[in-house]
Amino acid sequence: MRQTFFRLVKLTMAYKNRMITAAILGFLTIGSSIGLLMTSAYIIAKAALHPSIADLQVGIVGVRFFGISRGIFRYLERLISHEATLRLLSKFRVWFYQGIEPLAPARLIKYKSGDLLNRIISDIGNLEHLYIRVLAPPVIAALVTVLMFFLFETFNLVFSILLLISFFIAGIGVPVFIFIVSRKTGEEVNRLRSKLQIQTIDSLQGISEILIFGQEERFRNKIHILNQRYEKKQRQRTFINGVHEALIGLIMNFTILAMLLIAIPQVTAATLDGIYLSVIALGIMAAFEAISPLPAAAQHLEQSIKSGQRLLDLVNANPLITDPKTPSSVPDDFSLKFENLSFKYDKNDDFSLRHVSFTVPQGSKIAVVGSSGAGKSTLVNLMLRFWDFPDGHIFIGNRDIRTFRQEDVRNLISVVSQNTYLFNETIQENLSLANPEKSKDELEEAMRQAQLWETVQSLPKQAETFVGEQGFLFSGGERQRLAIARSFLKDAPILILDEPTANLDAFTEQKILRIFWDLSKNKTTVLITHRLVGLENADQILVLKKGKIIQRGTHAELTEQDGWYRRMWQIQNQVLVIEAIGQ
C-alpha cells in the first residue's frame, strides 16, 4: 500500500509547483475566513459598548480586507487546483495507456473488456481526488494549525494547547477511525462497481444473442441484483461520511465549550477582555474548516490507493514481447522463412504449432490451409510479434524477426484478418488508419479495388458515413471489404491474408481473390484459409493439421494425391455447385 501511494505521488510531481501554489492559496483562503470571522466578532462585541468610530476603524478595515481577499484567494485556489487535477488526470490516462499498450494482446487477453474499461475510466477517475482531497487537506490543516497556535498564544498558551489537542483528535484520531471503519466498505464498493460495469458491457455486447435465446430477464435480474448490492454499500459509505461530519462538529463544539469554560474565569478575574470571548469562539469555528476535510481525505486515500493498485497491477506487468537493445535495420529482402517453429499459448495447453518449417521466397505466394484449430492464425500472431516463441525461428530475409523492433516488423506486414475491427468513425477515417497520408483519390482507388466503391456511393453521406460501433451498421462482407481496402492503402511488402473472404459470397470471393493475386505480384504473400478457393494461383500450399504440416505442394499436385486437401476440395466444390444452382 505504501509503495502504491508513493508511486502515485511521484507521478504528481510533474505539477508540484501548481499544487504547492494551490495549497498556499487554500491556506490563505482559510486564513482569510478566520480573520473575517474574528474581526467581525470583535466589531460586534466592541460596538455593543458604544465606543467612538475611531476605535472600530481597524476592525472595519480588517473585515473589508479579509472579506475581499477570501473571495480572491478562493477563486485562485479553485482555478489552480482544478487545473492541476485535470492535468494530472490527463497524465494518468496517458501513463496508463503507455503502460498497457506493450502488453497487448498477449497479456491483456485474459482480462474482460468491462474490467479494462473500469480501470481506464473509474479507477483513473478516482485519482482525481488524489490532490484535492488527499494531498492538499493535510498540508493546509498543518499550516492552519501552526497559525492558530501562535494566534491563540497571544491570548493564553493554555488556549493554544487546548486547540492543538482538539485538532489532533479531529485531524488524526477521527480520520484514522474512519479509515479503519470504511476500509472494507470502500473495497466492496470498488469491487461491485467493477462487476456491475463488466456485466453491463458484456450484456450490451451480446444483446443480440441474449434476445435471440430469450435470456433478457435473466441478465436483467443479474444486473438488478448487482446494482442493489452496490447501492447498499454506497449507502453504508454515505452513512460513514455523515458520522465523520457529526464527529468533527461535536469536537468543534466541545472545543468551543472547553475554551469558554477556561476563558470566562479569566474575564471575571480581569486578566482577559470579555470582548475576546466571541472572537475566540468564532475563530475556532473558522479554523475547523481546515480540519473537517481530513476524515474524507482518509476515505479517498483508501479509494485512490486501491484504484492505483489496480492500475499498477497492469502497468507493472512485464510485456511478453520486448524490443532488442540494438535492433536490426529493415532488410531489403522480404522473403519469409519458418524454421522448426513450435509454440503453445500456455504451458498447460497443447502445442498450437509443432516443428513447422517452410520458406516463402520474396514475391511468391503461399497458401496455408487447414480446419479450424489447426494453427493457421497462430502463424499470423507470431509473425506480427503478438506472442513470443521459445522454440524455432522466423526470418525476414536472413534476419530473425526477434532482432527487429516490433514496430518495424509490423510496418513491413499488411494484414487482412478474419475479425475486422472498425472504429465508430466514418468510412474515410477507418480507411485512413492504414495510412493517414493517402489522398482522397487513393482512398477511392482502394475502395474500387476492394469492390466497395459502389456500396459507398449509394450511401447518403458516402465516405463520410459513420460505420457504427464495431462497424455493425455494415454487413459482414462490407466490413471485410473495408479491411481489404485498408491493406491496399498500407501497401506493405509482405501481405498476410487471414481468412480474407470469410464473410463474402462465393462470386464476390472469386473477384476479391483475383484482385489479391493481381496486386500481390511483387509482394511476399501468405494466404491463410480453410476455403480451398482460388488456390491455383498459389506457388505452394501447406496443409496444417493439429499444428503440423501434413501435406505440401501446388494445387495440381495436392488434388492428385489422396489426402486431406483433395477430400476437402471435393466437398467444397460440391457445396459451391449447390450454391450456384440455388442462385
Nearest CA-CA partner of 102 in 388, 321, 316, 313: 321
325 three-state secondary structure: coil
Residue 455 has pLDDT above 60, yes or no: yes
Q: What percent of the chain has pLDDT over 90?
A: 16
Residue 309 makes CB contacts below 8 A (sequence gap 6+) with: 1, 4
pLDDT in tens, 272-303: 888 888 889 999 999 998 998 888 888 788 78
Query: Is 5 inside a domain boundary?
Result: no
| Same domain, residue pair 218 and 182 | yes
For CA atoms 557, 562, 564, 569, the dihedral sign is positive
The answer to whether 341 and 356 are in contact (CB under 8 A) is yes
Average pLDDT, the chain: 84
Instruction: Compute the distance between CA of residue 377 and CA of residue 389 in angstroms, rounded to an integer.
Output: 14
pLDDT in tens, 193-243: 888 888 888 888 788 888 888 888 888 898 899 999 988 988 888 888 888
Q: Residue 576: what pLDDT?
A: 54
pLDDT in tens, 89-142: 888 888 888 888 888 787 777 777 777 887 888 888 888 888 888 888 999 999
Query: Is 208 inside a domain boundary?
Result: yes
Instruction: Compute the distance between CA of residue 122 and CA of residue 229 in angstroms, rounded to an integer.
Output: 18
Query: Structurally, how many domains does the chain consist of?
Result: 3
CATH of the domain at 345: 3.40.50.300
Query: Is 325 inside a domain boundary?
Result: no
Query: Is 278 inside a domain boundary?
Result: yes
The DSSP bridge pattern shows strands 494-498 and 336-343 to be: unpaired
Instruction: Compute the distance between CA of residue 456 and CA of residue 246 in angstroms, rounded to an integer.
Output: 65
| Same domain, residue pair 41 and 58 | yes
User: Most confidently modeled of 91-95, 560-564, 572-576?
Assistant: 91-95
∠ Cα 492 498 504 (to 5°)? 110
| Same domain, residue pair 248 and 155 | yes
CB atoms within 10 A of CB 379: 25
Residues spanned by the domain of 30: 15-315
| Same domain, residue pair 378 and 424 | no
| Same domain, residue pair 262 and 395 | no
Helix, strand, coil shares, percent, the chain, to 5: 65, 10, 25
- Check residues 446 and 73 and name the one with the higher pLDDT: 73
**Domain termination site, one of 453, 476, 491:** 491
Task: Name the grid cell of 306.
Answer: 486501491
pTM of the entire predicted model: 0.75
Distances (CA, A) of 388 to 101, 123, 391, 393: 16, 30, 9, 10
Q: Which residues pair with 368 in a beta bridge?
A: 528, 542
∠ Cα 523 525 531 (to 5°)? 145
Nearest CA-CA partner of 551 in 574, 532, 578: 532
* Residue found under cell 467444397: 572
Nearest CA-CA partner of 279 in 27, 46, 29, 26: 46
pLDDT in tens, 155-165: 889 999 999 99
Question: Of 110-114, 125-129, 496-500, 502-506, which range is least confident?
Answer: 502-506
Q: Which residues pair with 526 in a beta bridge?
A: 366, 496
Query: Is 426 inside a domain boundary?
Result: yes
| Same domain, residue pair 168 and 301 | yes
Q: Residue 443: what pLDDT?
A: 82
Instruction: Compute the distance between CA of residue 31 and CA of residue 34 in angstroms, rounded to an integer.
Output: 5
Instruction: Compute the distance between CA of residue 48 and CA of residue 288 in angstroms, rounded to an integer.
Output: 27
**Domain termination site, one of 491, 517, 541:** 491
Q: Residue 578: what pLDDT?
A: 54
| Same domain, residue pair 373 and 293 | no
Q: Residue 350: what pLDDT?
A: 80
Q: Residue 119: what pLDDT?
A: 83
| Same domain, residue pair 166 and 227 | yes
Query: Is 7 inside a domain boundary?
Result: no
Residue 190 makes CB contacts below 8 A (sequence gap 6+) with: 122, 303, 306, 307, 310
Residue 369 has pLDDT above 80, yes or no: yes
